[in-house]
Structure 1
Amino acid sequence: MIREIKGRHVLIALLVFFGVIIAVDAFFVTTALRTFRGEDEPRSYVQGIRYNDVLERREEQAGLGWSATSVVTSTRVEIGVVDAQDAPVTGLVLDARLRHPADSGRDIELALTEISAGVYEADTEVPDGRWTLVVSTPEGPPFELEQDIWLQ
């Protein structure tokens, strides 16, 4: 036996349908706002304006001919810096961090100290996963290093 569809049945079906759509949208919006904090790069506008300065620093670094090697384990980070003649570069003050690709809240700041000529080390716990090693000199000769790291 087939029952007749009345106006209240259509109204209830529409209210349930749109209620489900609104509930799912509210869930997605809430989840998105809780997990994404917004702009991940501080002062990105200023950084864009100063991009020519970055290019100049990179050109100066290329002129120096410095190169670096890195060793990252679960307990330490080691960076070796040599000049164009493969002589160790000593006395650098390096800013370094392990940057997480998806969550800047998980970034690890590194306190590098020179343990031998041209070799800088930081003892720290590094969780498994993908990281980007970012090293630069805040003062003095320009030096930057960015390297993708996978720890298993």
Structure 2
Amino acid sequence: MASTQKEIKGGHVLAMLLAFFGVIIAVNLVMAWFANSTWSGLVVENGYVASQEFDKNLARARAQEALGWDVGFSFDRSSVKITFTDAAGKRIDSLDLTGRLQRTVTDKEDQQLTFGWMGSGTYSAPARLAPGLWEVEVDGKGDGVADYHKIFRFVVKAE
């Protein structure tokens, strides 16, 4: 019994190459569409203008560090809490805090936070926290400080 082999011709090779590269191009287009439609990655509108503020931001951070404040952070699924203690160990009760709760890789779940004073140096804000990586960016004024800024990064574990 003689077996017959099929001959691969130029048309077959062309079809295989087109199919191979067609799949690669299609997958790349889908990934590019998802990357472009989920989050722009934009952190500041103009990087050059933001870089001009670097020295001012660095001086502000050094002044904030020189205060010697101890800042505690805690959270649960429905709120975030921040506790401020000065260098002498006294609780700081006279701050006006605002904040922004955000994911690190998307802006779809961003939330503005308004902190209320809970007593004994503790401030709390309601929040909706799903599992995953989060950041809270806190800005405050008061107790002799014109501009306080701190970022807390934390992970909410799935239940």
How does the TM-score come out when normalised to structure 1? 0.81
Match of 2:146 in 1: 141
| Deviation for aligned residue 1:130 | 2.2
* Higher mean displacement: 105-114 or 13-22: 13-22
CA distance in 2, matches of 1:45, 1:108: 27
Which has a greater percent of helix? Answer: 1
| Structure 1 unaligned blocks of 5 or more | none
> Does structure 2 retain, via aligned residues, the 8 Å contact 1:95–1:138?
no
The two structures, once aligned, show a CA RMSD in angstroms of: 2.4
Which has a greater percent of strand? Answer: 2
The higher relative CO (CA closer than 8 Å, separation ≥ 6) is in: 1
Q: Does 1:130 align with 2:126?
A: no
Q: Does 1:3 align with 2:6?
A: yes
Q: Secondary structure at the match of 1:28?
A: helix
* Higher mean displacement: 121-130 or 77-86: 121-130
> Does structure 1 retain, via aligned residues, the 8 Å contact 2:85–2:91?
yes
> Does structure 2 retain, via aligned residues, the 8 Å contact 1:58–1:142?
no
How does the TM-score come out when normalised to structure 2? 0.78
Match of 1:50 in 2: 53
Q: Does 1:77 align with 2:77?
A: no
> Does structure 1 retain, via aligned residues, the 8 Å contact 2:41–2:105?
no
One-letter amino acid of the structure 2 residue matched with residue 124 of structure 1: A
Match of 2:121 in 1: 118
Query: How many residues end up aligned between the 2 structures?
Result: 152
| Structure 2 unaligned blocks of 5 or more | none
CA distance in 2, matches of 1:69, 1:5: 71
CA distance in 1, matches of 2:73, 2:7: 76
